[in-house]
A and B are shown apart, each in its own frame.
Chain A
Amino acid sequence: MMLLESVSAMDFIGTKFADFLTYTGFANVEWANVIMIAVGAFFIWLAIAKDFEPLLLIPIGLGIILGNIPFKDAGLEIGLYEDHSVLNIFYQGVRQGWYPPLVFLGIGAMTDFSALIANPKLMLIGAAAQFGIFGAYMVALALGFEPNQAAGIAIIGGADGPTAIFLASKLCPNLMGAIAVCAYSYMALVPVIQPSIMKLLTTKEQRKIKMKPSRQVSQTEKMLFPIVGLLITTFIVPSGLPLLGMLFFGNLLKESTKTTRLAKTAGSALNDIIVMLLGLTVGCSTQASEFLTWNTVFIFIIGACAFVVATASGVMFVHFMNLFLPKGQKINPLIGNAGVSAVPMAARISHQEGLKADSRNYLLMHAMGPNVAGVIGSAVAAGVMLGFLS
C-alpha cells in the first residue's frame, strides 16, 4: 500500500516537474531569442566598456534581453504584448505616445537656449539638418514602404528618439519597436558615425575657424523664447503640439525663475523615470518574432543613410551660409553636424573635433545653438508629416 502510494506520489512529482520544465526558457528557446539576447548583451557592453550613451543603451540592452527570455504562452500575463501584464502597462506609454512628450518636458527643463537666442542664425542649421529625415523618406519609399511607414522610419534621421517613437506610434505602430531601437542605437553611435563625415566635408583651415563669443542673453529674452517659440511653431504645425508644447513648457519652467522646483523635478527625477521606462520597454518590444524581419534590416539601413544625410546637410549648409557671411563672422562648419537633435551628443562631437583641429578652439556653446534648433526642427518635421499622413 505504502509502495503504491509512494509510486503514485513519484508519478505526480514527475508529471508536475515535466510540466514545469515545459514552462522554462530552455524548453521554449529559439535561435532568434539567442541572437536577440546577444544583441542586448552587446548594447550593455557598448554602454559600459565603451561609454556609448549608457543612460540609453543599458535600459535598452537589458530590455532586449528581458523581452527575449523565452516562455510558454500560457496566459500568465507576463509578456510585453500580453494585455494587463506589468510590462504591457509600462509599454502603453510607448504605444500611446505618453513618454515622448514627458521626455520633451525634461529636455525643455534642462536645455539652455541662450546660445540659440544669442546667435539666432544658427537656427537655420538646425532646419537644414532635417534633410536627413526626408532623404530617408525617399529611400524608404524606393524600398517599397507605404508613405506612412516611410515617414515613421525617416524620422530616425532627426536623431531624436522620443520624436521617432511618437511619430511611429501614430503612423506605423507595427514598426515602432524596430524604429525606436534603430533611432536610439544610432544616437548612441553618433560619436562613431559623425566625425568621419565632418572631416570628409571640411578642410583643415575650415575646421580651425574661430567663432566670436556669443553676446550675453538677458533673462527677458530667455523667458520670451519658450512662449514665442510655442506660438510660432504650434500655430504653423498644431500636429506637433504634444512635443513642442511640452518642450517649451519645460523650458518656461526653467527660465521663469519662479518654478525652479518644478523645473528641477522635470529635468531630473521625472525625466530619469521616463527614460528608464522608455528604454526598458523599447528594448522589450524587440521580441525576436516581431523584430528579426527584413523590415528591421531595411529600417537599420535607411536609418544609417538618414544619419549620414543629416550630418552632411548640416555641414554643407554651414558652407553655404559662409558664402554670405563677412570674413570675421564665418561659422565653423564643424558645428553643422549638431543640427541633428541628439542633444548634447552631437554638440559634444563638434567640440571634440574642433579641439582636434585647434586645441584652443572651443565650439561647444556655438554647437549647442544648432543642436537645440534641431530638437525644434525635428519635432516640427514630425508634426508636419503627422498632419499630412494621419
Chain B
Amino acid sequence: MKKLLSIVSLLVASTAVFAQGARDLKLNEVYVYSPVCSDSSQNASYVDEYGQPASWIEIENTSYSTHNIRNCFLTINPAVLDESLSAPEREKLMSEIPAGDPRTSLSAKQRITFFADGNVNRGTLHLNFNLPVGEPFTVYLFDGNAVDLLDSIRVEALPAGSSYARIDGTEWEVVAEDKVTPNAPNQILKNKKIQEFKEKDPYGIAMTLMCMGVVFLCLILLFVFFHIFGWAMNRASMLARVRAIRAVHNQASKVVEMAKQGTTETKGIDMETYTAVIGLALHEYFGGTHDLESGVLTIQQAHTTWADKSHELRVLPPHHQAVELKK
C-alpha cells in the first residue's frame, strides 16, 4: 500500500512538473515574409540556413529553467480546434518539431525561430506550412500530446516588413520594421525594480518599513501559532494527567472495596491476590503516576537545639545573659 501511494504521488508530481514546464513555452513574435514587398526590407536579410528569407514564428521559454520543445506542434490550421478529432488526426494537420536536435532545448528565457516556408525537408527549424500574406491568421502551439493548446495568437494582416510581437510578457503589438527582433528579446530589459527604488525611495525608508513589516509578520504568525499550540498542548497534557490520576483513584477505591469484601467472603480468590492488587495500586498512586504539583519546593523547618542560633553567637545578648543567671 505504501509503495502504491508513493508511486501515485510520484506520478502526480511528475505530471505537475511536465505541465508547468510546457506552459512556460510561449509564442513570442511572428513575421510574415512577402517576396513582393519585403525584398527591399531590412528584415529580408534574416535568412535560413540556405540563405533564403522566409516567414518565421518565434517561441520563447519564459521560465527560468530549461525546457525542450521537441515533439511540440505548430500550425495555423483552425481545424485542429475541433474537439472531436483524435490525437493522430490532429497531428496530420500540424507541423511537428523534430526530436534529436539540441537546438530545441531552450534554456531560461531563450528563444527559437522556426521558418514557415512549407519545406520540412530543410531541417528542424522548418515548418510544413506558409504564413498567408495580407490575411489574418492564428498561430497555434500544441503540446507533445497534440491535444493541449499551450499558446495561440491571432495575427492581423501586417504592414510590409513589420512583425507582431509580445511586449512586456502579455501585450501583443505590431512592431515597426526597425524593431523586428528575430531570436532576440522584443524589448531592452532593464532592472526596473532597482531603478524604481533608486528614484522613489532614495533614503531607504519604504524598504525598511516594508521589509521589517514582512519580517515581523512572519515571526508574529509563528509566535501566534506556537503560543496557541503550546497552550493547547499544556492543556492536553494536564487533562491527560488528571484523567490518569482519576483512573488510579478509581482503581484504588475499587481495590479497597474488594479487599473489604475479601475479609468476609473471598469467593474462592486467594487473599494474596488482593494484597498484590492493593500493593500495585498503591505503588502506582505514590510512584508511577504523580498528582498535580505546584512545582515549588518547600522545606518544612523543624526547630531543634542543633539549629539554635545561640550556638553561633560568641557573646550572648544581655537578655539571654539574664536568663542564664536566673538559671
B203-223 interface (Cβ within 8 A of A): 203-205, 207-208, 210-212, 214-223
Contact indicator per residue, chain A 216-234, by CB within 8 Å of chain B (1) or not (0): 0110110011001100110
Chain A residues whose CB sits within 8 angstroms of the CB of B201 once the complex forms: 147
Say yes or no: is B230 at the interface (Cβ < 8 Å to chain A).
Answer: yes
| B215 adjacent to A381 (CB under 8 Å) | yes
Tell me if A381 and B222 are in contact (CB < 8 A): no
B187 touches A (CB below 8 Å): no
- A147 B205 Cβ-Cβ under 8 A: no
Asked if A148 CB lies within 8 Å of chain B CBs, one says yes
B194 at the interface (CB under 8 A from A): yes
Q: Which of A278-331 contact B (CB under 8 A)?
A: none
Is the CB–CB distance between B219 and A134 below 8 Å? no
Does any Cβ of A come within 8 Å of B225's Cβ? yes
Stretch in A9-17, A76-84, A135-143, A264-272 with 4+ CB within 8 Å of B:
A135-143
Could you tell me if A137 and B208 are in contact, using CB atoms closer than 8 angstroms? yes
Q: A127, A148, A218 — which one has the most chain B CB atoms within 10 A of its CB?
A: A127
Q: CA of A118 to CA of B230 in the docked complex: distance in angstroms? A: 7
A377 adjacent to chain B (CB < 8 Å): yes
Instruction: Find out whether the CB atom of B229 lies under 8 angstroms from the CB atom of A147.
Output: no
A217 to chain B, nearest CB (A): 8
Check: B321 CB closer than 8 A to any chain A CB: no
The answer on a CB contact under 8 Å between B215 and A232 is: no
Is residue B235 within 8 Å, beta carbon to beta carbon, of the partner chain?
no
Contact B233 A134 (CB under 8 A): no
Q: Which residues from 175 to 195 on chain B have a C-beta closer than 8 Å to any C-beta of chain A?
A: 191, 193-194
In-complex Cβ contact of A134 among B193, B194, B212, B225 (8 A): B212
Complex interface: chain A residues within 8 A of B216 (CB) = 124, 127
Residues of A206-245 contacting chain B, CB below 8 A: 215, 217-218, 220-221, 224-225, 228-229, 232-233, 236-237
Distance in angstroms between the alpha carbons of A218 and B226 in the assembled complex: 12
A145 to B215, CA, bound (A): 24
> When the two chains form their complex, are residues B207 and A385 in contact, meaning their CB atoms are under 8 A apart?
yes
* CB < 8 Å neighbour of A373 from B210, B219, B233: B219
Interface check A20, CB cutoff 8 A: no
With known contacts A233-B218, A236-B217, A148–B194 Cβ distance under 8 A: yes
**Do the beta carbons of A229 and B222 come within 8 Å of each other?**
yes
A200 to B148, CA, bound (A): 67
Could you tell me how many residues of chain A have their Cβ less than 8 Å away from some Cβ of chain B?
Answer: 46
- For residue B198, which residue of chain A has the nearest CB? A147
CB of A51 within 8 A of chain B? no
Tell me, rounded to whole Å, the shortest Cβ–Cβ distance linking A169 to chain B: 16
- A127 touching B215, Cβ below 8 Å: yes
**Measured between C-beta atoms, what is the minimum distance from A166 to chain B in Å?**
16
CB of A381 within 8 A of CB of B211, answer yes
Known: A147-B198, A218-B237. Is A123-B222 also a contact (CB below 8 A)? yes
Kindly list chain A residues whose C-beta atoms are within 8 Å of the C-beta of B233. 218, 220-221
* Contact assessment for B220 and A224 in the assembled complex, using a CB-CB cutoff below 8 Å: no
Any chain B CB within 8 A of the CB of A31? no
CB distance from A174 to the nearest CB of B (A): 14
B218, A389: Cβ atoms under 8 Å?
A: no
Q: Decide if A380 touches B198 in the complex (CB within 8 Å).
A: no
| With known contacts A117-B230, A218-B233, A228–B218 Cβ distance under 8 A | no
- Contacting residues, chain A, for B211 (C-beta < 8 A): 130, 133-134, 381, 384-385, 388
The reply to whether A232 and B225 contact each other, CB–CB distance below 8 Å, is yes
A390 sits at the interface (CB 8 A): yes
**How far is B204's CA from A139's CA once the two chains are assembled, in angstroms?**
9
Q: Tell me if B197 and A389 are in contact (CB < 8 A).
A: yes
A150 close to B (CB within 8 Å): yes
The one of A117, A137, A141, A150 in contact with B226, judged by C-beta atoms closer than 8 angstroms, is A117
Question: Within the assembled complex, what's the spacing in Å between the Cα atoms of A229 and B191?
Answer: 31
Whether the pair B204, A236 counts as a contact (CB closer than 8 A) is no
The CA of A150 and the CA of B221, in the complex, are separated in Å by 28
Tell whether B234 is near chain A: CB-to-CB under 8 Å.
Answer: yes
Q: Is B202 part of the binding interface, using a Cβ–Cβ cutoff of 8 Å? A: yes
Residues of B within 8 A of A148 (CB): 191, 194
> Quick check: A377 and B215 within 8 Å, CB to CB?
yes
* B290 lies within 8 A of chain A by Cβ: no
B246 within 8 A of A: no
Task: Please indicate which of the listed interface residues A134, A135, A373 has the most CB atoms of chain B within 10 Å of its own CB.
Answer: A134
Q: Which residues of B contact A381 (CB under 8 A)?
A: 211, 214-215
Could you say which residues of chain A place their CB within 8 Å of the CB of B202?
Answer: 141
The verdict on B227 contacting chain A, using a C-beta distance below 8 Å, is yes
Q: B51-79 vs A: 1/0 string, CB under 8 Å?
A: 00000000000000000000000000000
Cβ of A120 < 8 Å from any Cβ of B?
yes
* Residues in chain A near residue B222, CB distance under 8 A: 120, 123, 228-229, 232-233, 376
CB <8 Å contact, A388 and B193? yes
A147–B203 CB distance below 8 A:
no
The 27 sampled A-B contact pairs (Cβ below 8 Å) are: A117-B226, A118-B230, A120-B226, A121-B227, A123-B219, A123-B220, A124-B223, A127-B212, A127-B218, A127-B219, A134-B204, A141-B204, A146-B194, A146-B198, A218-B237, A220-B233, A221-B226, A232-B225, A233-B222, A373-B219, A376-B219, A377-B218, A384-B214, A384-B215, A388-B207, A389-B191, A390-B193
Q: Given contacts A147-B197, A233-B218, could you give 13 more A-B pairs where the C-beta distance is less than 8 Å?
A: A120-B222, A120-B223, A120-B230, A123-B223, A124-B216, A131-B212, A134-B207, A137-B208, A218-B233, A221-B226, A233-B222, A385-B207, A389-B193
B residues lining the A interface (CB < 8 Å): 191, 193-194, 197-198, 201-205, 207-208, 210-212, 214-223, 225-227, 229-230, 233-234, 237
The 9 lowest CB-CB distance pairs between A and B, nearest first, are A134-B208, A138-B204, A147-B197, A120-B226, A123-B219, A127-B219, A120-B223, A384-B211, A137-B204
